[in-house]
Chain A
Amino acid sequence: MITENLKKIINIILLSRGRKQITIVKEDSNLRNDFGFDSLDLAELTVRIEAEYDIDVFEDGLVETVGEIVRKIEKLK
């Protein structure tokens, strides 16, 4: 569920950057290498995740993969 939601958020960012949307998101998908996210895309990602889950996933430093975000959100529950 969280992964699906993250896919939606990632696709919003990709779409607004005029890039191709993704169909599959895996736990080890790398935000920079697999989605081509730059620092502004990551900043947007963290703002959108915070709006939805009320957590700043980048608070303790850089997060590389989708799995790391999922684990941070799951910890909240």
Chain B
Amino acid sequence: MKLFYSDILNNSKYSWDYLITDLKHLNFYNPYCYHSDFYTIFKNIILSLILREEIILLDSDFSQSELNTLIGSKDITQYNKPINNSELKGLENEEELLKMIKKVNSKWSVTLFTSGTTGLPKKVKHSFHSITRFVKISNKFKTNVWGFAYNPTHMAGIQVLFQALLNGNSIVRLFGLPKELIFQSIKNSQITHISATPTFYRLLLPAIGVYQEVIRITSGGEKFDDKTFFQLRKIFPNAKITNVYATTEAGTLFAAKDDIFTVKAEMQQYVKIHKNELLINKEMMGNTDINITKWYNTGDIVEIVSNNPLQIKFISRNNEMINVGGYKVNPGEIEEAIRCIEGVQDVRVFPLKNSISGNIISCEIVKNNPKLEESNIIFNLRSKFQDYKIPRIIKFVDKLLTTRTGKIKRDQI
């Protein structure tokens, strides 16, 4: 039986046949999807597509007070609607299910909330067209097995789901698993494709073994550093590694083989660089609470590598810059340098507030060489950076804090 979804954490496996039977036995549909179980979330999204109903994805991490602010203090169980079973009658096999999904019309939409690393999550509504803009469907993708390494209620997770779903692929959970289980899942389920944040990939290092069966690695959501890139090459020698630039508001926009993104000719009219910041035309965006006139400020600082064709390189997030006594420090730049130091597995750079310089730079490091000391880090950085950029407080930790989307957390602790 062809696998639809497997989750080593719950020790559960669901075939496509099981999914279809399960869908046919549902009596109610609730547009508010607030579950922690990935299979249930996937099933509800698929059901919403068949019924052509709106679905509102709520991260299971949201607290009751966050929910109250985002959707109002309503009892979501009151929104159960009976399902007209005739809509599901024709459903006998995976092919028919895929046909039904692909016939989805403009009535369907998905509402989700941005990760809210800088305040309250913002609501964004996408149509089937905008969410599947970059989905590639082909017979040659039929046997792909996707390692699912994102939160399924977030934009990146939904995009991976649609890429897998519309090609009738199997999905294997990797998100939130300890490193050993991730590698075990890759091997046992013969995963061919993984899409994740650079932080996710860095947490896999140093690797346990080599995984020949993985043929595609996609990375997005943060800047990808060279050290991780080269190490991933060794773990997944047959994989094509691609960087993707995507936002919750606009979905996937560009892809690159290295850190230089080429903006395709047809995309150029929707992209503008203003004061080094990447702006996206409103036409490319989902419906959102954010007030946009014509151009949306992404907050991503880029460098123009060439104008024709337009090629850009991502430098940092403008809200991530740390002000140390009037000097701006890009935490990504410092992290990249620390990651290159022998014995460093991963690092998180963040500000520590004080009444003298506003902030000083601090960092937490996960080391893979017990001999690595604070002095090695400082000595190394002193040859590369001005004094104000060098972390003043260095802590060695077992694990780094990450955000709900799996990116490195930059807030002060």
A interface residues, Cβ below 8 angstroms from B: 15-16, 18, 39-40, 42-44, 46-48, 50, 56, 58-59
Contacts and interface: CB of A to CB of B under 8 A. Distances in A.
B375 A43 contact: no
A39 B392 contact: no
Interface stretch (B96-104, B210-218, B313-321, B350-358): B350-358
A50 B324 CA distance: 18
B375 A47 contact: no
Interface string B380-401: 0010000110001100000000
Contacts of A16: 374-375, 378, 392
Contacts of A56: 354-355
B360 interface: yes
Given A16-B375, A40-B360, A44-B393, A58 B355 contact: yes
Nearest to B377: A16
B381 to A, nearest CB: 11
Contact of B355 (A40, A46, A48): A46
A59 B374 CA distance: 28
A22 B407 CA distance: 42
A-B complex: 9 closest residue pairs judged by Cβ atoms: A43-B357, A43-B356, A44-B392, A58-B355, A43-B354, A43-B360, A46-B354, A47-B354, A42-B356
A40 B378 contact: no
A58 B360 CA distance: 14
Contacts of B375: 15-16
Contacts of A47: 352, 354, 360, 362, 392-393
Secondary structure class of chain B's binding surface, majority of residues: mixed
B194 to A, nearest CB: 39
B116 interface: no
Nearest to B394: A16
Nearest to B392: A44
Contacts of B392: 16, 40, 43-44, 47
A44 B393 CA distance: 8
Contacts of B360: 40, 43-44, 47
Interface string B292-327: 000000000000000000000000000000001100
Contacts of B393: 44, 47-48
Given A16-B374, A43-B360, A47-B392, A59 B387 contact: no
Contacts of A44: 360, 392-393
Given A16-B378, A48-B393, A40 B352 contact: no
Give the one of A43, A44, A56, A59 with max B CB within 10 A.
Answer: A43
A39 B352 CA distance: 15
B374 A40 contact: no
Interface in B316-356: 324-325, 352, 354-356
Contacts of B387: 40
Contacts of B354: 43, 46-47, 50, 56, 58
29 contacts: A15-B375, A16-B374, A16-B375, A16-B378, A16-B392, A39-B325, A39-B356, A39-B357, A40-B325, A40-B357, A40-B360, A40-B387, A43-B325, A43-B354, A43-B360, A43-B392, A44-B360, A44-B392, A44-B393, A46-B354, A47-B352, A47-B354, A47-B392, A47-B393, A50-B354, A56-B355, A58-B355, A58-B356, A59-B355
Interface string B358-383: 00101000000000001100100010
Contacts of A48: 393
Nearest to A42: B356
Contacts of A40: 324-325, 357, 360, 387-388, 392
A56 B357 CA distance: 13
Contacts of B357: 39-40, 43
A58 to B, nearest CB: 5
